[in-house]
Amino acid sequence: MAQRRPPRTPNLAPPAPGPAHWLEFAKGHPILDSIADGVFTVDRDGRITSFNRAAEEITGYSREEAIGRPCSEVFKANICKHNCALARTVSSGERLINVPVEITTRQGDRLPISVSTAVLHDREGHRVGGVETFRDLSDLEELRKQIHDRTEVSDIVGKSPKLREVLEILPEVAVTDATVLIRGPSGTGKGLIAAALHNLSGRKDGPLVKVNCAALPETLLESELFGYVRGAFTDARKDKPGRIALAEGGTLFLDEIGDISPAVQVKLLRVVQDREYEPLGGTHTEHADVRVVAATNRDLEQMMREGTFREDLFYRLNIVDLELPALAERKDDIPRLIDRFLRQFNAKMGKNVSTISDEAMGLLLAHDYPGNVRELENAMEHALVLCREQTIEARHLPATLRQSAQQRDEGRRTSGLPLQSAEAQTIKATLERCHGNRSEAARQLGLHRTTLWRKMRRYGLA
């Protein structure tokens, strides 16, 4: 009796090179055209050898346009140049699953997708190319955006009481034209708040023009702000509009306002108070249809007492005062920020890092963050650069962060004081906010429920 042969899997390996053969091969797989995910294959040089119907619909490119071209010309993904998932698979043989990627469609739209890759072999087992399946995530992203926590406004992540106070009044402040002063340490997100004020206002279709007052010397800052007319100084060969003019109809964001000189303060007062100014060398008064938002990390009240900041300018700027807390004051927001940065850098680097070890999370929660959110963001980017697995370990974190933790522990041992764990304090605050609901607390902290229970017992919170 003849032995029964096992069913053969479809042969996706491309035929010998040649566009005519590729097209014939691509049209010969109706099964691929019946599935909802995009599927395409490439040869060892990265040129597309097949392209199913879903791939056409998702990318906007027809099969005839795609076949024979390098896949980077069709997808224009954020990982094409430096970390192409399919090229990595073809060269190493490593399979990749659900890597988040952003591509540009034929119409120029940015589209989030997830890709999975595998190697293609010929009948003799030789590696001849690769296959990639990809799924359109735009509907999922839109749904996620709609149901996301309402405390995340224009990329501002946080649930701490101090930050929520700011976020709750933000929409009401935004719809007015009132001048706003945003205060807080460097790295707390003052620029994000300014952008949110602009995007939620009636001026959102106008420009948002940022001026970093600390980055420019006095003479250059004055010409950058107010512009100049031809002949105002030796190199002024033609008129040049300033940032105030460029912000016409929109918002002028003056970052680090505490660093401007008294001479510039006088001229800026006229803009804030009367919405009027004169370009350098000009004789005509210009009207400024702009909303002014300023930010500083300095103590302006102390500067007024010292005579280095004008009192009248301060009160004109300080119509609405928004103060952002340092990250050390809202450590229960750290897990949410970490989750955001994980998604952000996974997409940017084409990685699929999904978890953080308990040791690494403990170090991140215990750190004091003199650089605030910006420092945490840099630490997470550093970790994802080094991490080759799916879990971030302590060794992937910046050396300065690990060293500060070691110095902190040594100081506690030599002082003889009982260990006051920042992690324990964070867990306690989160449990109180969640009214003892451990499942919700675990979700907010980015921990598994059993991990949270183990930590609660360790710190005497159970």
Rounded CA-CA distance 188/194 in Å is 12
Question: What's the rounded mean pLDDT across residues 48-57?
Answer: 90
User: Taking a C-beta distance cutoff of 8 angstroms, is the pair 293, 253 a contact?
Assistant: yes
What pLDDT digit, counting tens, does each position of 374-383 carry? Answer: 999 999 999 9
Would you state the pLDDT for residue 140?
A: 64
Rounded CA-CA distance 133/287 in Å is 56
Would you state the pLDDT for residue 368?
A: 86
Using the predicted structure, report yes or no on whether residue 146 has a pLDDT greater than 70.
no
Q: CB count, 10 Å around CB of 45?
A: 9
Rounded CA-CA distance 423/367 in Å is 10
Residues in Cβ contact with 154 at an 8 Å cutoff, skipping those fewer than 6 apart: 192, 195, 196, 199, 200
User: Taking a C-beta distance cutoff of 8 angstroms, is the pair 200, 223 a contact?
Assistant: no
- Could you give the angle at the alpha carbon of 300 between the alpha carbons of 296 and 301, nearest 5°? 150
Would you state the pLDDT for residue 144?
A: 54
Domain boundaries, the chain: 19-137, 148-325, 331-458
pLDDT band for 149, please (50, 70, 90 cuts): very low
Would you state the pLDDT for residue 28?
A: 46
* pLDDT: which is higher, 278 or 20: 278
pLDDT band for 405, please (50, 70, 90 cuts): low
Question: What's the rounded mean pLDDT across residues 234-251?
Answer: 84
DSSP 430: H
Would you state the pLDDT for residue 222?
A: 87
Using the predicted structure, report yes or no on whether residue 324 has a pLDDT greater than 90.
yes
Using the predicted structure, report yes or no on whether residue 413 has a pLDDT greater than 50.
no
* Percentage of the residues of the chain whose pLDDT score is greater than 70: 84
Between strands 127-136 and 48-51, the pairing is unpaired
What pLDDT digit, counting tens, does each position of 185-217 carry? Answer: 999 999 999 999 998 899 999 999 999 999 888
pLDDT band for 153, please (50, 70, 90 cuts): low
* Secondary structure string (H, E, C) spanning 316-380: HHCCEEEECCCHHHCHHHHHHHHHHHHHHHHHHHCCCCCEECHHHHHHHHHCCCCCHHHHHHHHH
- Single-letter amino acid, residue 383: A
Which CATH code of 3.60.90.10, 3.40.50.300, 3.40.630.30, 1.10.8.60 fits the domain covering 331-458?
1.10.8.60
DSSP 394: G
Rounded CA-CA distance 334/33 in Å is 45
Would you state the pLDDT for residue 329?
A: 87
CATH class of 19-137: alpha beta
Using the predicted structure, report yes or no on whether residue 124 has a pLDDT greater than 90.
no
- Single-letter amino acid, residue 37: D
Rounded CA-CA distance 393/387 in Å is 8
Would you state the pLDDT for residue 321?
A: 95
Q: CB count, 10 Å around CB of 9?
A: 6
Would you state the pLDDT for residue 302?
A: 94
* Percentage of the residues of the chain whose pLDDT score is greater than 90: 34
Would you state the pLDDT for residue 24?
A: 45
Would you state the pLDDT for residue 412?
A: 47
Between strands 127-136 and 38-43, the pairing is antiparallel
Which CATH code of 3.40.190.10, 2.60.40.420, 3.10.20.30, 3.40.50.300 fits the domain covering 148-325?
3.40.50.300
Coil, strand or helix at 111? strand
Would you state the pLDDT for residue 407?
A: 61
What pLDDT digit, counting tens, does each position of 312-322 carry? Answer: 999 999 999 99
Between strands 208-212 and 251-255, the pairing is parallel
Mean residue pLDDT of the chain comes to 82
3-state helix, strand, coil in the chain (%, to 5): 45, 15, 35
* pLDDT: which is higher, 427 or 418: 427
What pLDDT digit, counting tens, does each position of 325-354 carry? Answer: 999 888 888 888 998 898 888 888 888 888
Would you state the pLDDT for residue 409?
A: 54
Q: Which two tokens stand for residue 252?
A: 């002028």
- Bridge partners, residue 127, by sequence: 121
Report the residue count for the chain.
462
Using the predicted structure, report yes or no on whether residue 170 has a pLDDT greater than 70.
yes
Coil, strand or helix at 202? coil
Question: What's the rounded mean pLDDT across residues 60-64?
Answer: 91
Rounded CA-CA distance 156/166 in Å is 11
331-458 has the same fold as 19-137: no
Would you state the pLDDT for residue 414?
A: 40
Question: What's the rounded mean pLDDT across residues 94-112?
Answer: 85
User: Taking a C-beta distance cutoff of 8 angstroms, is the pair 197, 293 a contact?
Assistant: yes
Rounded CA-CA distance 447/212 in Å is 39
* Residue in 13, 57, 10 with CA at minimum distance from that of residue 31: 10
Would you state the pLDDT for residue 315?
A: 95
- Single-letter amino acid, residue 387: C
Question: What's the rounded mean pLDDT across residues 96-113?
Answer: 85
What pLDDT digit, counting tens, does each position of 254-272 carry? Answer: 999 999 999 999 999 999 9
Q: Determine which of 137-141, 371-375, 420-424, 452-456 has the lowest per-residue pLDDT on average.
A: 420-424
Question: What's the rounded mean pLDDT across residues 367-372?
Answer: 89
Would you state the pLDDT for residue 184?
A: 93
Using the predicted structure, report yes or no on whether residue 249 has a pLDDT greater than 50.
yes
Would you state the pLDDT for residue 418?
A: 41
- Single-letter amino acid, residue 56: E
Q: CB count, 10 Å around CB of 333?
A: 22
Question: What's the rounded mean pLDDT across residues 298-320?
Answer: 95
Residue 97, phi then psi, degrees to nearest 5: -125, 125
Rounded CA-CA distance 314/322 in Å is 14
Burial of 24 (0-12, 13-18, 19+ CB in 10 A): exposed
Rounded CA-CA distance 391/376 in Å is 17
Would you state the pLDDT for residue 406?
A: 63
Question: What's the rounded mean pLDDT across residues 86-104?
Answer: 86
